[in-house]
Amino acid sequence: MPALIDQIEPLKQAALAQFQAAEDMAALDQARSQFLGAHGQFTALMKQLGALPKEEKPAAGKQINQAKGELEAALAARRSELELAAVLPKDPTDFTLPGRRRGLGCSHPLTQVIEDIVRSFRKLGFVVADGPEIEDDYHCFDALNTPADHPARDTQDTFYLDHPTPRLLLRTHTSSVQIRVMEKQAPPIRIIVPGRVYRRDNADATHNPTFQQIEGLYVDRGVTVGDLKGTVEFVFRELLGADTRIRFRPHYFSYTEPSFEIDFANATVRKMGKAWLEIAGCGMVHPQVFVNVGYDPEQWTGWAFGFGIERIAMLRYGVNDIRLFYENDQRFLRQF
Amino acid sequence: MKITLQWLRRYVDFNGTPEDLAERLTMLGLEVEGVQRTGAEFDGVVVAQVITRDPHPNADKLSVCRVNDGQGERIIVCGAHNFQAGDKVPLILPGHALPARRGEPPYTIKVGKIRGIESHGMMCSPSELGLSGDAEGLLILPPTAPVGQPFAEFLGRSGQDVVFDLEVTPNRPDLNSVIGIAREISAATGQPLRLPETTLAEDPDSRAADGVAVRIEDPDLCPRYTARLIRGVKIGPSPDWLRRLLELVGLRSISNVVDVTNFVMLETGQPLHAFDYRLISRAAGEAGQEGLPTIVVRRARPGEKIATLDGQERSLTTDMLLIADEQRAIALAGVMGGLNSEINDRTADVLLESAYFKPTSIRRTSKLLDLRSDASYRYERGADIGIADWASRRAAQLILETAGGRLASGVVDAYPRPAAPRHVSVRFARTDALLGIPIPAAEQVGHLRRLGLEPMAAGGSETTPEAAGIATVQIPSFRVDLKEEVDLIEEIGRLHGVDRIPATPPRGALGAHPHDAVHDDLAAARRLLCGLGLSETQGQTLISDALAARVLPPEEAGSIVRLGNPLSSDMNVLRPSLTAGLLDALRRNINRQESDLALFEIGRVFRLREAAPADERHLGLALTGRRHQPFWSGADRSQTLDLYDLKGILEEFLDLFGVRGYSYARRAGAHPLFLESAQIVQGKQVLGEIGQLLPAAARQLDLRDAVLVAELSMDLLLARRNASKQFRPLPAFPSVRRDVAMVAPESLTHEAALGAIRKARPTHLEAVELFDVFRGGQVPAGHKSMAYALTYRHPERTLTDAEVNAIHEKLVASLKQDLPVQVREG
C-alpha cells in the first residue's frame, strides 16, 4: 500500500473526474458522498492522518486539507453548473424573434396639433374656452358685424338646420365663441377656442364639410397691433419651427379692423417652391363688435385671430388629403 | 380682377419690376394671386402658307401638306379640313410650346411620325393659340399676311405685357377697376394719378334730353340713372388694342360698342349698359302726340318675365328692379341686359346707361336668379355713385372713336337726391394706441392726403389738424368702405406699412374661462384610453340619416337633428351618437384589411330635446378582432375580443379617470343594434351603454368578428368625475386569504354575490376577488361554480388563523342563508 501522502493526489483526481462526470444533482450527490461523505474515501483518508508518525503529520495534513478545499470548490462549481443547466429553457431564447407587444393607442393627429397649439398659448397666459357648434345667425354673423347681405352669409356656404324658429345653423367659424364669451365675461379676456366648424363645401383633397379651427381673442386696455404681431410670431415659431418668418398683409374681415392675413415662410414653404404661405387671418376687434357685446370700445381694444387645424397638421406631417383625418384608417392614425 | 401692367401704366408710373409691383400690391392688401408675362406666348409661331395639300395615304381624315414657313418648305400632317393650298395660317415650329391652358402644363410640339409620315410642326386653330374663335378649323389669315412674319408681330402684339390676377377683398369695390388700383399705387408711391381726358365732341343739333326720358319709380333702389345718346354708330369688330386688352384679362370680345362698355367698366369700376335705342318704345305723349322713348326704372310686376342676354327666360319677383320702357322690361337692372333691346349688327343708335343701384337689391336679385355678372359683382359690393356721369362720358368718347356716330349733347341724369358727402374723423393718438407705434400727426395727415382724404379745416378755425390732434376728412364717393375712425386708422397703418409696426412681446392679463379645466379633463381621458391601447378617431359630424337611424332605437329616430340644406344624402343629419362613426371607421378599416381594431372618439353628438337641438359630449369605444397583438406562438394568440375585454377597458378607464359607484343593468328584450347589452347606470342616471353588435348588423358592415361597442355621456362622466387623490398608509401587517366556492344557479349575478358578501359585513375584510367561474364537470346543468378569494387584514396587528377562520365561517354561513347556493367546502 502506498504511503498516505502518495494516495492523496490520485484520490483527488479520481474525485474531480467523478464530480465533472456527474450529469445531474443526484449523481453529484452520490459522488460527493463517495468521496467526502462520512464514509467516503477521502474522509477515510483523513481519518488515517492521526495514525501517521508525528514528523509526517504536518506535510500530509497540509496537503490533505488543500486537496479537500479543492474538492469542495470543484463540487460547488459543478453544483452551480448543474443548477443552472436544470433551469435553462430547453429552447434558448432567440433575441431576434419579435417580442410579445402590448399595444398603446395613438391620439388623433388633429388632437396632437391642438394640444401643441394650446400648450404654446398657455405659456402666454391664455386659457381654453368653448362654445356651441349649433349657432344662430346673431352670434355667427350679425354680432360679428357681418350684415345680412354680406357674401359670407350665402346659404351656399352655411349649413342650416331643418328647424324653422329660431333659425339655427352650424357655425362657420369659431369666431362666434368670441361673442359668446364676451357676452358673459367682463374684460380683460384672453382665450383660445379650438373647435369644429362647418362649411357647405363638397369634400375634396383640401375641403371637408367638417373641419377644425382655433380662435384666439385678447381684450385688454391698450392692446395694439404690435401685441398681435408679438403673440402670433411667438406661437407660429413654436408651432412651425424657429426658422419661421411671419408676414402680415392688410386684408378684410368684417369683424376686425384693421384686418390682416398672416403668411409664413420657412424651409417647408421653400420646399414647396413658394416664398410665403397663407396660414391665418387676424385683426383688431372691430369697435362695432365691442358695442354689440356691451364693451366700451374707447376703453378696451383687442385682437383676434383664427386658423385651420387641418392646414397646420397637413403642413407639419406632409398629409396631402384632408379627408384622411376623418376616415380613421388605422394605418393613418398609427403614424402619429 | 385681372389687370395688365401696360394698362395700369396709362394712369400711374411705377418704377420697378413687375415682381416689385406684385409685392407692393400684396402688402397694400391687394393680394396678387398670379403674375403672367404675355407676348412671349406666340414664340415659335410664324405666318406660313400652304403650298400643297394631299390626302394622307394611311388616314382618311388627315392630309399631308407642304408648307412655306418663310425660310423654306416643311411637311406638315394636318387634321383640319377648312383650308386649301394657298391659304395662310399660323404655324408653330417644333420645339415650341402652345400657350398653356388653365390647369394644364404647356404642350411642346415635336417632330414626329403621324400614321407613318413625319410632321415638322403644327398648323394652329384659334383655340390652340389661346385666341377666341372656332376650335374646329385652322385660323385662316388674310392673304396680305407676310409669310415668315412672327405671329405675335402680325397680331400687333409684339409689345410684352404682364397680367396680374388680384384678389380684391369685398370691402374695396373701388379696386375692381384699373383706375382704382392705379389710385392705390399712386397713394403708396406718391406718383401722380393721370386720368384720361374726356373732352367730347357733342352734336350741337341734338340734345339727349330731346331723345330720351328717364323716370325712376324706385329711387330707393336706384338713386341715380344717367343716359346718353349716340346716333349713327357702325357696329363692328373692335380695334386690335381693345380686343387684345379684353382677351388678356379674360373677357370675350363681342363688338365695338359692347367692348367699350366692358372696357370702361374695367377701367372705372362702373358697370355700363348699351341699349339699341330704336328698340325702346315711346311713351304716349300729350294730346295724342308720341312721347319720348322712356327709360322706366321700376320693380318687376307680379308674374313678370324677361329674357336675359344669355338666352334664359327669367321669372321675376316684385323685389327685383327692372329697366323698362313704357311697355316691357328691357334689362334686369345691374345684373344683365335683355335680349329685346340688345346691341346687334343693325343697331345704329345707342342709348348708354350708367347708373347706380343699391347693393342689397342687386345682391338679392342675383342670388335669387342664380345669375352673376361682372356688373352685378360690382354693384352688389358697392359702385361709385359719383362716377356715373364721368364713366358715361368716357364710354361715349370711346364709342365715337371705335364705332363712329354723333353724340347728342348733354346727358339725362336722373339723380333726385344727390348723396351728401360723408365725413369721418380720426384722432391721431387713437391711431398710435391701436397700432402700437407713434406716427407723427403730420405723417398721418400725409397718408390721408395721398389717399385723397383731404383734412378739412376744423370748424373754420385757424387750428391745423396736426395741432388739434384730430383730422376730419371728406370721404370720396368711391371709398364706400370708409365709415368710421378705425377705418381711417387702418388706412394710415396700411400706407405706413404693417411691417414697420414692431412686434411687442406678449404681456397683459391672465385669461380665465371655465372650459379650460374641461379641456384638460378631456385630454386626460384621451391619454388614459390611448394607454389602454385604443386609438383616437375623429368622425364626421355630418352623417347620413340611414346610418343615424341604424344606431338608434326606432322610437328615438324622431330626435335626429336634420340639415335644412344638406349637400348630399350622405351627410344630411348631425350625428346622434358616436357609435355610427365608429362603426363606419371599423367597416372602412376592415375593407382595407385592417381587422384588429380598438378605437375611441370623444366628440359632440346632437339630438332634439324638447324639440330644440341640443349637443352633448360623448365617449365612444369600439373593438373588434384579435385580443392580443400578433405573436408567433401560444394557444391563445388568435383569440378574438369579447364583451369582457371592452368591459375591462371601460372599468380600468373609469377607475383611473375617477368615476365610481356605477353598475350595469342588462337590457331585456330585443335591441335593434345589440345582441346583448347593458346600460351603465350610476344611481338613477344612465351614463351610457355597452353591448355586442347583432351579428346581422355586423355583417352589413363587413365585420366578421364580434363587434363590441360602448358609448357614454362624456359630459356626465366629467360632472361625476372625482379625480382627487388621498394617500392611504401602506399596510404594515400581513393579510390572510380564504377562498369560498359556491355552486349557484345561472341567474345569480356576480353583483348579487358581492352584495351578499358585503351585507354580511365580515370584519377586517379588505378585498374580494372573483378568481374562477366554472361550468360542467360536477356542476349541475343550469348552474355555475363561482370561486371568490377573500383577503382579511388588520391594520394594527397580524390576524391569527383562528380569528380569520371564525370570521370566514360566519361569512360562509351568511352566504348559505342569503343566496340560493351550495358552498363547496375545502
Across the interface, do A250 and B28 touch by the CB < 8 Å criterion?
A: yes
- Best of B541, B573, B584, B633 to substitute, by most chain A Cβ atoms within 10 angstroms, is B541
Q: Summarize pLDDT for B282-302 with one digit per residue, the tens.
A: 877 666 667 889 999 999 999
What's the grid cell of residue A143?
354680432
Asked whether residue B219 carries a pLDDT value surpassing 60, the answer given is: yes
Within an 8 Å CB–CB cutoff, is residue B172 touching chain A?
A: yes
Kindly report the three-state secondary structure assignment for every residue of B325-373: CCCCEEEECCCEEEHHHCCCCCCCCEEEEEEECCHHHHHHHHHHHCCCC
- Which of B105-109, B351-355, B489-493, B760-764 has the lowest average pLDDT? B105-109
Asked whether residue B460 carries a pLDDT value surpassing 60, the answer given is: no
- Which of B95-104, B745-754, B804-813 has the lowest average pLDDT? B95-104
Query: Taking CA atoms, what residue in A is nearest to B614?
Result: A134
Residues 44-63, chain A: which have Cβ within 8 Å of B? none
Q: Summarize pLDDT for B751-807 with one digit per residue, the tens.
A: 999 999 999 999 999 999 999 999 988 899 999 999 999 999 999 999 999 999 999
Q: What's the confidence (pLDDT) of residue B429? A: 95
Asked whether residue B826 carries a pLDDT value surpassing 60, the answer given is: no
Provide mean pLDDT across the span B167-194: 93
Collapsing DSSP to helix, strand or coil, B691 comes out as strand
Which residue in B90, B91, B97 sits closest to B121, CA to CA? B91
Q: Summarize pLDDT for B240-258 with one digit per residue, the tens.
A: 889 888 988 889 899 999 9
* Chain B hits for A248, Cβ within 8 Å: 498-499
Nearest-angstrom CA–CA distance, B399 and B351: 11
Residues 272-311, chain A: which have Cβ within 8 Å of B? 284, 286-287, 301
Nearest-angstrom CA–CA distance, B342 and A329: 58
Nearest-angstrom CA–CA distance, A195 and A130: 7
The pLDDT mean for chain A works out to: 91
The pLDDT mean for chain B works out to: 91
Asked whether residue B585 carries a pLDDT value surpassing 90, the answer given is: yes
Asked whether residue B457 carries a pLDDT value surpassing 70, the answer given is: no
Q: What's the confidence (pLDDT) of residue B288? A: 60
Instruction: Say how many Å lie between the first and final Cα of chain B, rounded.
Output: 92
Query: What was the ipTM of the complex prediction?
Result: 0.80
How many other CB atoms are there within 10 angstroms of residue B318's CB atom? Answer: 10
Domain borders along chain A are 4-87, 109-333
* Chain B hits for A260, Cβ within 8 Å: 498
User: Is the model more confident about B271 or about B98?
Assistant: B271
Asked whether residue A156 carries a pLDDT value surpassing 70, the answer given is: no
- Which of A264-278, B156-170, B309-323, B693-707 has the lowest average pLDDT? B156-170
Provide mean pLDDT across the span B449-466: 79
Provide mean pLDDT across the span A39-65: 85
Q: How many helices (H) and strands (E) does chain B have?
A: 22, 41
**Sequence letter at residue B266:** L
Asked whether residue B695 carries a pLDDT value surpassing 80, the answer given is: yes
Q: What's the confidence (pLDDT) of residue B636? A: 86
Could you say which of B485, B530, B564 has the minimum Cβ distance to residue A105? B530
**Cell 357681418 found at:** A146
Q: What's the confidence (pLDDT) of residue A94? A: 84
Q: In which band, very low, low, confident or very high, does the pLDDT at B568 lie, cut at 50, 70 and 90? A: very high
Q: What's the confidence (pLDDT) of residue B103? A: 59
Provide mean pLDDT across the span A173-177: 96
Within an 8 Å CB–CB cutoff, is residue B554 touching chain A?
A: no
Could you say which of B363, B537, B564 has the minimum Cβ distance to residue A161? B564
The whole-angstrom distance between A309's CA and the closest CA on chain B is: 13
Provide mean pLDDT across the span B224-239: 94
Give me Rg for the CA atoms of chain A.
Answer: 42
Across the interface, do A160 and B542 touch by the CB < 8 Å criterion?
A: no
Could you say which of B27, B532, B612 has the minimum Cβ distance to residue A105? B532
The CATH H-level (homologous superfamily) assignment of domain A109-333 is Bira Bifunctional Protein; Domain 2 (3.30.930.10)
Asked whether residue B458 carries a pLDDT value surpassing 70, the answer given is: no
Which residue in B336, B355, B349, B340 sits closest to B399, CA to CA? B349
Pairing of strands B305-307, B272-276: unpaired
User: Is the model more confident about B105 or about B239?
Assistant: B239
Interhelix angle B256-268/B240-248, rounded to 10 degrees, is 50
Could you say which of B484, B562, B603 has the minimum Cβ distance to residue A161? B562
Q: In which band, very low, low, confident or very high, does the pLDDT at A59 lie, cut at 50, 70 and 90? A: confident
Within an 8 Å CB–CB cutoff, is residue A184 touching chain B?
A: no
What's the grid cell of residue B227?
343716359
Across the interface, do B498 and A162 touch by the CB < 8 Å criterion?
A: no
Contact B707, B550 (CB under 8 A): no
Q: What's the confidence (pLDDT) of residue B89? A: 92
Across the interface, do B538 and A151 touch by the CB < 8 Å criterion?
A: no
Q: Under 8 Å CB-to-CB from A261, ≥6 apart: which residues?
A: A248, A249, A251, A278, A280, A281, A282, B31
Long-range contacts: B54-60, Cβ < 8 Å, 24+? Answer: B56/B114, B56/B115, B56/B117, B57/B116, B57/B117, B58/B115, B58/B116, B58/B117, B59/B114, B59/B115
Asked whether residue B96 carries a pLDDT value surpassing 90, the answer given is: no
Q: In which band, very low, low, confident or very high, does the pLDDT at B459 lie, cut at 50, 70 and 90? A: low
Across the interface, do A286 and B565 touch by the CB < 8 Å criterion?
A: no
Q: What's the confidence (pLDDT) of residue B135? A: 62
Nearest-angstrom CA–CA distance, B629 and B627: 7
Across the interface, do A229 and B502 touch by the CB < 8 Å criterion?
A: yes
Q: What's the confidence (pLDDT) of residue B825? A: 64
Interhelix angle B428-435/B485-496, rounded to 10 degrees, is 60
Could you say which of B170, B542, B598 has the minimum Cβ distance to residue A252? B170
Within an 8 Å CB–CB cutoff, is residue B493 touching chain A?
A: yes
Q: What's the confidence (pLDDT) of residue B152? A: 79
Residues 410-449, chain B: which have Cβ within 8 Å of A? 433-437
Provide mean pLDDT across the span A6-13: 88
Q: Summarize pLDDT for B331-341 with one digit per residue, the tens.
A: 999 999 999 99
Contact B243, B237 (CB under 8 A): yes
Which residue in B321, B322, B324 sits closest to B361, CA to CA? B321
Residue pairs spanning A and B at CB distance below 8 A = 258
Kindly report the three-state secondary structure assignment for every residue of A17-58: HHHHHCCCHHHHHHHHHHHHCCCCHHHHHHHHHHHCCCCCHH
Across the interface, do A251 and B507 touch by the CB < 8 Å criterion?
A: no
Could you say which of B436, B512, B537 has the minimum Cβ distance to residue A108? B537
Within an 8 Å CB–CB cutoff, is residue B529 touching chain A?
A: yes
Provide mean pLDDT across the span B52-62: 89
